[in-house]
Amino acid sequence: MDPHRLELKVYLEDTDAIGIVYHANYLKYMERSRSDMLESGASAMGGRQFVVHEMQIKFLRPARLGDRIEVRTTARRASDYRITFSQAVLLKQGEIQLASAEVQVTCVDSQGNLTEIPEKVSQQFALQPA
């Protein structure tokens, strides 16, 4: 499956006093991309949700005020209950990687109890068995 792509522009509100993107905003960019990707499968969730269980992130280079960036996201099944998202934030000009992350999300029901990933979601995102 091709990566999901989300294009963004860096605004003043994203940066610190010297015009560099504040590190926590990369988490927001990645969350937007995962949410955008999963939104298309929302009807198949049947009241279930994905919550972040674990995240490993590497900051490689800074994004700056006015930059055009892209978040690329792919998903793979980690277990019957978890999906691992691989994400990369790139500077559009030159395709320079700025940050990368591995994000484990867990599927839970409306009461917050662990539940299996719906089969329709697995099919929609072509998640291979763990």
Which domains occur in the chain, in start order?
Answer: 4-124 (3.10.129.10)
> Looking at residues 67-85, what average pLDDT do you find?
95
Per-residue pLDDT tens digits for 80-92: 999 999 999 999 9
Q: What percent of the chain has pLDDT over 70?
A: 96
- Answer yes or no: 16 catalytic: yes
The answer to whether residues 30 and 87 touch, using CB atoms and an 8 Å cutoff, is: yes
Q: Within a 10 A sphere around the Cβ of 28, how many other Cβ atoms?
A: 13
SS3 33: helix
> Looking at residues 109-126, what average pLDDT do you find?
88
CA 111 from chain centre, in angstroms, equals 24
CA angle 111, 112, 117 (to 5 degrees): 110
Chain position carrying tokens 């003043």? 12
pTM of the model: 0.90
2, 14, 16, 80: the catalytic one is 16
Q: Is 50 exposed, middle or buried (0-12, 13-18, 19+ CB in 10 A)?
A: buried
Q: What percent of the chain has pLDDT over 90?
A: 77
Higher confidence at residue 9 or residue 48? 9
pLDDT of residue 47: 84
Residue length of the chain: 130
